[in-house]
Amino acid sequence: MYEIIYKRSLNPTVVEMKIAAPLVARRAEPGQFVIIRTDEHGERIPLTVADYDREAGTVTIIFQLVGATTMKLGAMEVGDSLADFVGPLGKPTETAGLTRVAVIGGGVGCAIAFPVAKKLHELGVTVHSVVGFRTRELVILEDEFRSVSDLFRLMSDDGTAGEHGLVTDALRALIESGEKYDEVIAIGPLPMMKFVSLLTKQYGIKTVVSMNPIMIDGTGMCGCCRLTVGGQMKFACVDGPDFDGHLVDFDEAMSRGSMYRSFEAEAREHMCNLLAKGDE
């Protein structure tokens, strides 16, 4: 059993937890993920490692309350325990040889982008972070990003936080002002990563994206996380989750991701009713 030792809400729909998992903490690296089950009857869901403390033996996860399992997880409190916490899985983000990087985060994807920016900063890499949200209420990890970034730009769709505009607006402005990057690392919603990749392709800048499709076993056996990269089938759980953004078939990935929305909505409604009854 894996005890929840810390919990806080980052915004109305995003929760941060620290889990006691010393064996996972010992080997975890930015870019990797874990698969959890809330209880022995729960479904398996992947969550990216948002941070880790090897000495304390803890792993931080940050998740959005979007489906039945994340809502159930969000209802758990400090002192409760998870049935499973398997990992670290996937390949760590490659950082060797980089000297100047733009890290682009969108929405809850910033929870994945932050540990990458932190690792790069610790390695002495110049880090320019651009993060975007729909509105001020949804902003997460702003102070954390500022602490590991040589340059930080906060964007919002409605202009209530930072600058009014998209992350691609800020990135284009930086590139056209003369900023040179060894690599751009973009993590967030599929449409955001797609348009960042289309932008950087114009300038010939290597771009890495983090793909997080539906997964079940995390070993490539189930095939649920397959995607097309450079015309070849890849599995996000074992070949990724990081891939060359200029080679990913984003349209296919978005189409596959939308297939299960009706099932997620039904499960979420069922879970909302269960949680509401529990408060009576």
42 and 151 both lie in a single domain: no
Residue 276 belongs to a domain: no
168 lies in which domain range? 100-258
Average pLDDT over residues 247-265: 73
Do 73 and 42 reside in the same domain of the chain? yes
What residues contact residue 160 under an 8 Å CB cut-off, 6+ apart? 135, 136, 137
Domain count of the fold of the chain: 2
Specify if 278 maps to a domain: no
CATH of the domain at 230: 3.40.50.80
Where among 43, 68, 89 does a domain terminate? 89
Q: Which of 51, 35, 33 is closest to 43 using CA atoms?
A: 35
In a domain, 273, yes or no: no
> Which residues, listed in sequence order, are joined to residue 82 by a DSSP beta bridge?
2
Tens-place pLDDT, residues 226-240: 889 999 999 888 888
Considering the domain boundaries, does residue 251 fall inside one? yes
Between 38-52, 94-108, 213-227, 245-259, the lowest mean confidence (pLDDT) is in 213-227
Q: Beta strand pairing status for 58-64 and 126-133?
A: unpaired
State how far the Cα of 270 lies from the Cα of 214, in Å rounded to an integer: 20
> What CATH number is given to the structural domain containing 59?
2.40.30.10
Residue 95 located in a structural domain: no
Does 220 reside within a domain? yes
At 179, the amino acid letter reads E
Whether residue 68 is found in the same domain as residue 130:
no
Q: Do 244 and 157 fall within a single domain? A: yes
- The helix-helix angle for 250-257 and 190-203 (nearest 10°) equals 180
Considering the domain architecture, whether residues 123 and 206 belong to the same structural domain is answered as yes
Q: What is the pLDDT of residue 276?
A: 55
Q: Would 272 be classed as within a structural domain?
A: no
Query: pLDDT, tens digit, for every residue of 18-37?
Result: 999 999 999 999 999 999 99
- Percent pLDDT > 70 in the chain is 90
Do 204 and 148 belong to one domain? yes
Q: How confident is the model at residue 213 (pLDDT cuts 50, 70, 90)?
A: confident
Q: Higher confidence at residue 273 or residue 158?
A: 158
Same-domain status, 247 and 139:
yes
Residue 206 inside a domain? The answer is yes
